Structure formats: C-alpha cells, structure tokens
A and B are shown apart, each in its own frame.
Chain A
Amino acid sequence: MMETEVDRELLEKIADMLGKPVGAFNIRKDCGCDGRQSTEHIKIDNRTDGKSGIDIRILDGTVGETCHIPVIITKPGVQETVYNDFYIGENCNVEIVAGCGIHNCGEQDSRHDGVHTFRIGKNSHVHYSEKHYGEGDGKGGKIMNPQTIVYLEEGASIQMDTVQIRGVDSTKRYTKIVCGKGAEAVVTERLLTHGEQVAESDMVIELNGEDAKGRVISRSVAQDTSSQVFRPCVVGNAKCFGHVQCDSIIMGSAKISSVPEIAANDTEAQLIHEAAIGKIAGEQLLKLETLGLTEEEAEDCILKGFLA
C-alpha cells in the first residue's frame, strides 16, 4: 500500500483514516485495490459475477467491529461504476465507513458511481456513514452518483449518515430502504453546494412490516448559483411510523427544490413530513454579532451548526 500526500489527505477527509485502520478494510484507488484486510468475522472478497466491486460478509453475532471501504480517485478522467454488496448476519452491531474522495487537477471529468446493497439480518444494527469530498483545481468535473439499497429483516436497523460538504460538482443520489417487521431506518443527510454545483437526492423508505419505523433528517445549504433537488418519500404499508424532515438554507442566487412525500397504504400508518427553505435570519446574525463575531464569522458559525 503506497500512500502519497494526496491519498492521505483524501482518506482522512472521507473516512477519518490516519494510517492503517483497525479492523476490516478495503481501499480502492483509481480503479484498483490499494489495500485490503479481512478479519475473523468480516470477510472481504472480489465479486464473482464479473462486475467491479467487492462482497462483504459479516458473520452472525459480530459486535463492535468496524469496516472501512473508502474510494479515492487521484487521476483525471477516471470513470467507474462499482458494486459493493454487504451480507450482514443476525444479531450484529457493526460500523461501516464508506466514502469517496476525488482529487482532479486535469481537464477530464472524474466520476465514481458506487452502488451499495445491504442485506441486514434479524436484530442486527448497522451504523453506515458515507462522506463525499472533491478537490483539485483542474477544469475536469468531480462527479459522484451513489446508490444505496438496504433490506432490513425483522428487528434490524440502520443509521445512515451521509455528508457532502463542498467540492463535488455534480451528484445524483438514490437511496432505497425496505423495512421488515419492527425494523428501523434513520437517515441523516448533510449537503453543502457552492459555485455551479448541482445535487439531486431521491429517497424511498418502504415501511412494510408491522411497527417498522423510518426517519429522514435532511439539512442542506445551497450557496452561489448551485442547485439542489430533494425527493424523500416514505411509504407506509403496515402499522408503522414515518417522519421526513427537510431543512435548507438558501444563499446567493442558489435554487432549492424540496419535495417530501408520504404515502400510506394502511390505516395504521402514521406518517409526517415537514420541509422548510429559508435564508439565514437577520436576527441570528445580529445576535452573534452582539457576541463579538463579525458578520462573516456569524454566518460561518450558523452554517457549521446547521450542518453539524
């Protein structure tokens, strides 16, 4: 595993990795494998169907272990679609850290489309986090189109945290989570776009089993002339509870479209949605200025808190 300064910086930004991670990991760099480690309970192997990507199998009863699978692209013009499948046994409690960092100093676009499919066994809990980050002063675009498909068996749960703060020129995200009996999905999405960036996020949470729960908390900031579109949808097909909350701060000449949807196909489904778009309130800036911050510092403080 040869690491350059760029590699180190990208890995730290997207996966908080400083040096070799503890536990299982697979580092993908410029379409190749730059390091891999399986553990006794977490096995990582190449796919066998000819597609690019890996299979991750986590044995029943695996508790307190982590699996890092970051992707970094350091060359311009790299375009790839990668399929990673997670098979998580029963009664597990694990943390999976994914993420993609693109450093593009060239003229050609770099694009990573990561398709992640999770099959989470009975009573297992997964904390899945995914950070996206782009850098480099070339004209080539930094493009990421992640797809995450999750199947939760009875009593299983996932906490999915996605973060994209600056640097990604174009993103189209698709998330689908199917909840069985007593399963729970909590998705938090944090997004900041600037310049001419565009971001779209489509999400569907199907609450199919009795007492399934789904919660979406989306917070975004659009600056300059960037644009964002959110379409989170929660479908209640049983006695269940679903809540969608989208909050956005709009700045400059940005555009935001927020279209939360709830759909009930069962009289016992309890679904709520809330959506708000607004600029930073003048009183908020004034209050922080009375505490000694400049207007710029106050704005930065409000945005950091909002996206924390």
Chain B
Amino acid sequence: MLELKHVCYAVQEGDAQLGILNDISLTISDHKLVVFTGPNGGGKTTLAKIVMGLVQPTSGQILWNGQDITGLSITERARLGISYGFQQPPRFKGLTVRRLLTIASGNDKLSKDQCCQYLTKVGLCANDYLDREVDASLSGGEVKRIEIATILARNSQLMIFDEPEAGIDLWSFARLTETFEQIHAAGSATMIIISHQERIISLADEVIVVGDGAIRHRGSAQEILPQILSDTLGGCPVLSKGGAAQ
C-alpha cells in the first residue's frame, strides 16, 4: 500500500515560494490501477516523481507498505519494488536494448525469449531491437516503448508510468493498453499511470484529477470522465459559444 501524508513541494522564485504541490494526502491500495490526470502543469508528474524519489518533497511523508521511505534514495526505493517509466526517457550511446532489459530485470542471465516477451508486450520485435543501441538512431516512439519494456522487465510491485501513450502510434497503443489490462487482471502490481487518454482512464479503478498542485476530484472512471469532458469543452470559448473556429 502506498500512502502520501500532507505532501508539499515548493520552489523558490526570487523572494517568493511557489507551491507546486500543496498538502496532498492519498492512499493507494495494493493491485489497484490508478490514473492521475488533469491539466498540464498541474503537478501530476511532480507527484509521481516524489513517490520514486526523483523529487524530494518540501514537507510531508511517503509510506510504502507501512515503511517511511521519504528519506530513501531512488536506488533504495527501486530495490523496495517501485519503478518509474519516464515521459521522455534518456538515450544511451553504447547501451543495447538487451543490456537495458537485463539491468532492469536484475537477472544477468536474462534469456532472449524473456526479452522477447517484454518487447512483444510493447509492440516491438526482439530480433529487430535486442542488439540495437538505445541511442539517437531510435525514434522517440521506439525509445518510449523500450522504456515501458524496462518497467515490465523490472516486474516491481508498484509501477509508475508517466504518459506512456505519448509518442506511440495507434497500433502500439492498443497493444499497450492490453498489457496494462493483463497486469491489472493478474493482480501482480499496483499501477499509477499519468494519462490523458480516455482508453487508459477507462481502465482505472480510480481516477485522480490533479490541478494547481492539489487533488481536484477523485472517483471511478465513470464518475470522472464526464466531468473531464465538460471541463475541457467549457475551457474553449469558441466551442462554448457553439460557433465554428474562424
């Protein structure tokens, strides 16, 4: 179980403190699929990074399976079973896809068949990719799918995905949502997915709308989706007037 208690994160801007996250408390039970959604700049990614240890909160507490992990490093949290798929994963000159999957799995003898399973789940063929370097020769979508494959290889108890759909083509996206569904159905991991995609939101046990550094709404996909749609339409002056864009 993941618990966040009164988590705040602020940055210094000149003489003033700018609050990015303001007193966020939430609990996510084991094996749940939770989607963080909401407007850009609302604090979703910062919140997810705070769980992984990529960002240190200004105040507040993070508990994982009852253990206070607030002061633990990224490595320590990773070893306790938390993983994180970056929105814009870095590239590595010289590091092959096979090596990255091997590191992720923690198994030095990871077989080609096992690599193949992880890559297939993100719509990539192992024969084409295993020996390729994760460098600039790969497209953004390819790097993103390899990133997600590393999280699958990690097989951790808590998987965090930051906009997994970004940069991925429609066909691979369909394969990816199936993979999320399978993990969820197997009950093998808790998943936090940051997403704006209706298809992913509809998979969630719970949707948490994050905006202006706070939790705006939380509820089931059925409850939250209509609200998101009405907020989106309401935010556009042209659509709200019912007129066509000029």
Contact = CB atoms under 8 A, between A and B. Distances in A.
A287 B75 contact: no
A247 B93 CA distance: 9
Interface in B78-101: 78-79, 83-84, 86, 89-90, 92-96, 99-100
Interface in A252-308: 281, 283-284, 286-295, 301-302, 304-308
Interface range on chain B (Cβ under 8 Å from partner): 20 to 34
Contacts of A291: 78, 83, 100, 103-104, 150, 154
Given A287-B89, A307-B94, A308-B94, A294 B103 contact: no
Contacts of B73: 289
A301 B100 CA distance: 10
A294 B75 contact: yes
A308 B79 CA distance: 27
A132 interface: no
Interface string B92-128: 1111100110011010000000000000000000000
Contacts of A281: 90
Contacts of A307: 94
A287 B86 contact: yes
B2 interface: no
Contacts of A289: 73-75, 78
A279 to B, nearest CB: 13
- Secondary structure at chain A's binding surface: helix, strand, loop or mixed? helix
B86 to A, nearest CB: 6
A219 interface: yes
Contact of A302 (B78, B95, B106): B95
Nearest to A247: B93
Given A292-B78, A294-B75, A287 B99 contact: no
A281 B73 CA distance: 18
B54 interface: yes
Contacts of B52: 290
Q: Which of A281, A288, A293 is most buried by chain B, counting CB atoms within 10 A of its CB? A: A288
A288 B89 CA distance: 11
Interface centre among A290, A295, A302, A305 (most CB of B within 10 A): A290
A127 B78 CA distance: 43
B54 A286 contact: yes
A254 to B, nearest CB: 18
A290 B90 contact: no
Nearest to A289: B74
Nearest to A303: B94
A292 B90 contact: no
A287 B94 contact: no
Interface string B136-173: 00000000000000100010000000000000000000
A284 B93 CA distance: 10
Most chain A CB inside 10 Å of its own CB: which residue of B79, B83, B95: B95
B94 A292 contact: no
Contact of A293 (B54, B75, B89, B92): B75
A301 B103 contact: yes
A283 B89 CA distance: 8
Interface in B28-77: 52, 54, 73-75
Nearest to B83: A290
Contacts of A306: 93-95
Interface of B: 52, 54, 73-75, 78-79, 83-84, 86, 89-90, 92-96, 99-100, 103-104, 106, 150, 154
29 contacts: A219-B93, A219-B94, A281-B90, A283-B90, A284-B90, A284-B92, A287-B86, A287-B90, A289-B73, A289-B74, A289-B75, A290-B54, A290-B74, A290-B84, A291-B78, A291-B103, A292-B75, A292-B78, A292-B79, A292-B106, A292-B154, A301-B95, A302-B92, A302-B95, A304-B94, A305-B94, A306-B94, A307-B94, A308-B94
